[in-house]
Structure 1
Amino acid sequence: MTRPHTLLINPTVTSRSSARFPLSLLHLAAALDKSGSSDIIDGNVDRDFVNDTLHALRTRRFDAVGISVMGGPQMAPSIEVSKAVREHFPDMPIVWGGYFPTLYTDTALAAPYVDYAIRGQGEESFPALMTALSTGDASSLAKIGSLSRKVDGEIVHNPSRRFSLADPNTVLSYDKLGDPSRYLARTFLGRRTAAHQASVGCRFRCTFCGVAAMFGGATALPATTRLERELSYLKYELGADSIQYFDHNFFDREEDMVPLLEVMAKLELPWWCYARSDALLKLSESSWKLVRKSRLRMAYIGAESPSGQMLKDIRKGTRPDQTLEVAELCRRNGVIPELSFMVGPPENTEEETEHTFEFIRELKRINPQSEIIVYVYTPLPESSRHEKDRGKRPSAPLLDVNGEPVVFPKTPEEWTQQHWVDYACHADAPWLTDKLRRRIRDFVTVLRCRYPTAQDLRSPRWAKRTLSVAASWRYSYRKYNRPWELELANRLVKLRMPQVSGL
């Protein structure tokens, strides 16, 4: 029997300088290669990735094309490459996986250029699909968990597959990316920062979160042997000097984290990660000693809101006082807390937004080094929540600024419209007035000029100091409205915006 061969594609979503390892495709390739083989084309590095895809299909045999798709700016290039494959290779099966087809499965399959969608994890479902396609065994398709497909013009969803625990023997094939060292970037962590993902999923079920919708409260931590093997490769063979962890929630239960922290403390690679305030506050002093020795530099913490009621409504599981406590805790331990907030909720929109601004000021008084990320609250539609959570704590119907129900797109093309790209990126919402949009934008401008991010290595120090001084009177007196002089200066300096560019 011929082993199935898969072409995996990561459509362009960042600049080349911001490209990081396409970890989802590396993990998927490792799973596919157990029973077949795979190639990877990364549009973040290969800028002409559509033509590269067509060239690969012309020169080598593939049984299917798998495309990793997120919402927002990755939608348009995902559609472009899918249409090109369908036009030039009309019989080639096209499979979409990742966040978008998991959250909006029917929308993805409404497109004539998408044949299959895999919901959630693909490490078991995709190899099973490839075996069925390569052998022509159509009858086995109905048995593949988490697979959605078209049957006689109708969309059919197979039952969801159970959550898969990480395989400690999995070895990622970085050589599939050509020269892996080109993915090492200069960041505030170091000169050669590598991206890595140790654990997958998150135990918590926040109603607004795509991770909760995708994994349904499941999580899997790595074996220490695997973590040490991966980090040793990155450090000693690739020359990485720091790590950006893309774990959905790095700190889980303390007893599970200690063995991992011991490995990281041994390698001493400065690192960044996602974390929760309650998890950090529960760490013992001995664990914090390991955190300091492992050289944690910054933790991205979803503070979300200063409203205890809103945190309860969205099932966050944390409290506002814990946000204040963790800012002080991080200060004492030499860790920069990068705290994200969601403003402009559908209810009590202006009041909650102004309350958040004041809370941010309080955080800055407690720990001036706190980095602040401001997003617009854009909840998932009820149909996109994990099947275990649908119907639980249903939110009020979403209404736009005119009081009309918000209607989400029904096709991938509609998701490429700028206002929906902004929605997916938490940059705008249909219920915001122009006045409030401007208020949010003005506050963020004053805040980021007054406190330039430590992640900005490009802007000269003198320029950041000058902007900070220029913004100080506005920040002190809460004169956020129309900071024209800061906007003008920022056109020249172009301060880094972590919520847009990341590290």
Structure 2
Amino acid sequence: MTSTPRTLLINPTITSRSSARFPLSLLHLAAAVDRQGSSEIIDGNIERDITGATLQMLEQGGFDAVGVSVMGGPQMAPSIEVSKAIRARFPALPIIWGGYFPTLYTDTALGAPYVDYAIRGQGEESLPELLAALGRPQAELGRIGGLSWKQDGVIVHNPNRRFSLGDNGLVLPYDKLGDPRQYLARTFLGRRTAAHQAAIGCRFRCTFCGVAAMFGGTTQLPAAARLERDLSYLKYELGADSIQFFDHNFFDREEDMIPLLEVMAKLEMPWWCYARSDALLKLSESTWKLVRKSRLRMAYIGAESPSGQMLKEIRKGTRPDQTLQVAELCRRNGVIPELSFMVAPPENTEAETVQTFEFIRELKRINPESEIIVYIYTPLPESSRHEKDRAKRPGQVLRDIHGEPVVFPGTPEEWMQPQWVNYACHADAPWLDDKLRKHIHDFVTVLRCRFPTVQDLRSPPWAKRGLSAMAAWRYRHRKYDRPWELNLANRLVKLRLPQVSGL
């Protein structure tokens, strides 16, 4: 290892080139690594031959380690492919996995022969310390918080590291992405929408949420000066005209939010963010005035369920009546609520699903502009929950359609199987039967045709109006099953699916 380590950071392909957004996690890591070394970034969402581009760059030499950001679902296959290729061509080069997958499934990741180290949670401090320790006595590895590694074939888990939101005074190294303007996308927010993350973490501990498992119920908000500096760069240097916040929960306590909203109001860039119904309902009228001035266009709100009992079981911390209230509140303030629901839980699967469909209809009555996203409820296994939450309210034993206990994959390759990709994406679950699976699909088809999303800029307005008219009678009379005519029309129109493609 050289005195100034050089690291290749890889974001495996997870979406189309047109849907690519800034790989924010790698930009933050690069900024941290570059304090005492140097780094390069390969983004598979832009560079479509991620394996070929990686090997070509490594052939040039001079790299001391490779870091791969890995999320479950469709990113598993390219993550495995590129890691295997690196191991085959450069067997001595350390391969480090970080991100949600190795945080939630650490032993599974490290069980693979092409993964040497796994960083759990935030990596801005752990990764530079690991790079500095490579090639030195193994005792130094044991002092790195948030690191899991192999010692003589045995997996070692170091204590967790408390995460932080340090400000090094530098703008993220966007220049490492080539022309960063290629990441500015046309969305319903504007012609040049930029992705940004201000706050990190979330104070709440929903049992199905990877954020809760990674950050353990803590959150950090940025200083207003930092937010203004970062967004000013995006607006005045790169030409961004709108912002999609990737914060885990943008709205926290009102007193902490006001300085950030003042920055947004000053910059006047239409924006989208994640939010909670209870947090929005607690805002004073003066703060809502600031929200309106800031030009917030849409807030993604996890409604999850109309069942108060289920919301308690998943530790959501909100109530169904708050979901109804926030839909009306957003309507009055010109904000579109994008409400997500988790249907088909393991218990009372069909009844809970039908109840959710009726609740969605009530929301659309209160605020017709409400956007609805329907997912399958797929909780994390107990072993993936944050250490603070394990053994607290132990989750129920999950059973498949045959009544047998659900056995989660034990290798990264098994997580590539379609049923587990769907599970990671909240698109299917082992306890669903074909009848209910089809009913959910048909309901969503009728709903999205009756109320096409405002986020769809690709489909012509006349086509969306036509589909809405075609779906009107089905929606009015609750005739969801077998919408053959809508499925046929969708082959031609291909409405955008926000739960798949986002903005």
**TM superposition shift of 1:163:** 2.0
In structure 1, what is the Cα distance between the partners aligned to 2:38 and 2:227?
24
Q: Secondary structure at the match of 2:292?
A: helix
In structure 2, what is the Cα distance between the partners aligned to 1:143 and 1:248?
29
Q: Say if 1:247 and 1:273, in contact at 8 Å, map to a contact too.
A: yes
In structure 1, what is the Cα distance between the partners aligned to 2:343 and 2:154?
39
- The aligned counterpart of 1:272 is 272
- The aligned counterpart of 2:470 is 470
Q: Deviations over 1:46-89 (max 9, x none)?
A: 11121111111111311100000000000000000000000000
Q: Secondary structure at the match of 1:161?
A: coil
Say how many residue pairs are matched.
502
**TM superposition shift of 1:151:** 1.1
- Is 2:143 the counterpart of 1:127? no
In structure 2, what is the Cα distance between the partners aligned to 1:407 and 1:93?
31
In structure 2, what is the Cα distance between the partners aligned to 1:166 and 1:453?
37
In structure 2, what is the Cα distance between the partners aligned to 1:50 and 1:425?
24
- Is 2:64 the counterpart of 1:54? no
Q: Say if 1:442 and 1:483, in contact at 8 Å, map to a contact too.
A: yes
Q: Secondary structure at the match of 1:447?
A: helix
In structure 2, what is the Cα distance between the partners aligned to 1:447 and 1:246?
26
In structure 1, what is the Cα distance between the partners aligned to 2:61 and 2:156?
31
Question: Which amino acid is 2:76 matched to?
Answer: M
Q: Deviations over 1:84-103 (max 9, x none)?
A: 00000000000000000000
RMSD: 0.8
* Superposition misfits of 4+ residues, deviation over 4 angstroms: none
In structure 1, what is the Cα distance between the partners aligned to 2:138 and 2:112?
21
Question: Which amino acid is 1:236 matched to?
Answer: Y
Gaps of 5+ in 1: none
- The aligned counterpart of 1:387 is 387
In structure 2, what is the Cα distance between the partners aligned to 1:259 and 1:164?
20
Q: Secondary structure at the match of 1:186?
A: coil
**TM superposition shift of 1:164:** 1.8
- The aligned counterpart of 1:416 is 416
- The aligned counterpart of 2:66 is 65
Q: Deviations over 1:12-34 (max 9, x none)?
A: 00000000000000011111111
- The aligned counterpart of 2:371 is 371
Question: Which amino acid is 1:425 matched to?
Answer: C
- The aligned counterpart of 1:193 is 193
In structure 1, what is the Cα distance between the partners aligned to 2:133 and 2:166?
24
- The aligned counterpart of 1:232 is 232
Q: Deviations over 1:288-345 (max 9, x none)?
A: 1111111000000000000000001111000000000000000000000000000000
Question: Which amino acid is 1:68 matched to?
Answer: S
Question: Which amino acid is 1:338 matched to?
Answer: E
In structure 2, what is the Cα distance between the partners aligned to 1:416 and 1:213?
21
**Following superposition of structure 1 onto structure 2, how do residues 254-293 of structure 1 map, counting pairs within 5 Å?**
254-293=254-293
Question: Which amino acid is 2:167 matched to?
Answer: D
- The aligned counterpart of 2:452 is 452
Q: Secondary structure at the match of 2:88?
A: helix
TM-score by length of 1: 0.99
Q: Deviations over 1:124-168 (max 9, x none)?
A: 1000000011x5343200100110011111111011112223325
**TM superposition shift of 1:497:** 0.3
In structure 1, what is the Cα distance between the partners aligned to 2:246 and 2:162?
22
In structure 2, what is the Cα distance between the partners aligned to 1:357 and 1:428?
17
Q: Secondary structure at the match of 1:317?
A: coil
**Following superposition of structure 1 onto structure 2, how do residues 334-413 of structure 1 map, counting pairs within 5 Å?**
334-413=334-413
TM-score by length of 2: 0.99
In structure 2, what is the Cα distance between the partners aligned to 1:335 and 1:168?
34
**TM superposition shift of 1:2:** 2.1
- The aligned counterpart of 2:314 is 314
In structure 2, what is the Cα distance between the partners aligned to 1:168 and 1:128?
17
**TM superposition shift of 1:436:** 0.3
- The aligned counterpart of 1:205 is 205
**TM superposition shift of 1:226:** 1.0
In structure 2, what is the Cα distance between the partners aligned to 1:498 and 1:130?
38
In structure 2, what is the Cα distance between the partners aligned to 1:366 and 1:430?
34
What percentage of residue pairs aligned between the two structures are identical?
80
Q: Deviations over 1:460-484 (max 9, x none)?
A: 1000000000000000000001000
**TM superposition shift of 1:393:** 0.8
In structure 2, what is the Cα distance between the partners aligned to 1:268 and 1:64?
42
Q: Secondary structure at the match of 2:175?
A: helix
Question: Which amino acid is 1:193 matched to?
Answer: T
Q: Deviations over 1:254-277 (max 9, x none)?
A: 000000110110000000000000
Question: Which amino acid is 1:41 matched to?
Answer: I
Q: Secondary structure at the match of 2:71?
A: coil
**TM superposition shift of 1:363:** 0.1
In structure 2, what is the Cα distance between the partners aligned to 1:282 and 1:166?
28
**Following superposition of structure 1 onto structure 2, how do residues 42-121 of structure 1 map, counting pairs within 5 Å?**
42-121=43-122
- Is 2:33 the counterpart of 1:4? no
- The aligned counterpart of 1:142 is 142
In structure 2, what is the Cα distance between the partners aligned to 1:171 and 1:84?
33
Q: Secondary structure at the match of 1:76?
A: helix
Question: Which amino acid is 1:47 matched to?
Answer: R
Question: Which amino acid is 1:235 matched to?
Answer: K
Gaps of 5+ in 2: none
- The aligned counterpart of 1:34 is 35
- Is 2:165 the counterpart of 1:165? yes
In structure 1, what is the Cα distance between the partners aligned to 2:256 and 2:60?
47
In structure 2, what is the Cα distance between the partners aligned to 1:205 and 1:62?
39
**TM superposition shift of 1:170:** 4.1
Question: Which amino acid is 2:218 matched to?
Answer: A
Question: Which amino acid is 1:53 matched to?
Answer: T
In structure 1, what is the Cα distance between the partners aligned to 2:67 and 2:144?
16
Q: Say if 1:215 and 1:386, in contact at 8 Å, map to a contact too.
A: yes
In structure 2, what is the Cα distance between the partners aligned to 1:389 and 1:196?
29
- The aligned counterpart of 1:223 is 223
**TM superposition shift of 1:426:** 0.2
Q: Deviations over 1:401-455 (max 9, x none)?
A: 0000000000000000000000000000000000000000000000000000000
Q: Secondary structure at the match of 1:191?
A: coil
Q: Say if 1:168 and 1:225, in contact at 8 Å, map to a contact too.
A: no
Q: Say if 1:166 and 1:221, in contact at 8 Å, map to a contact too.
A: no
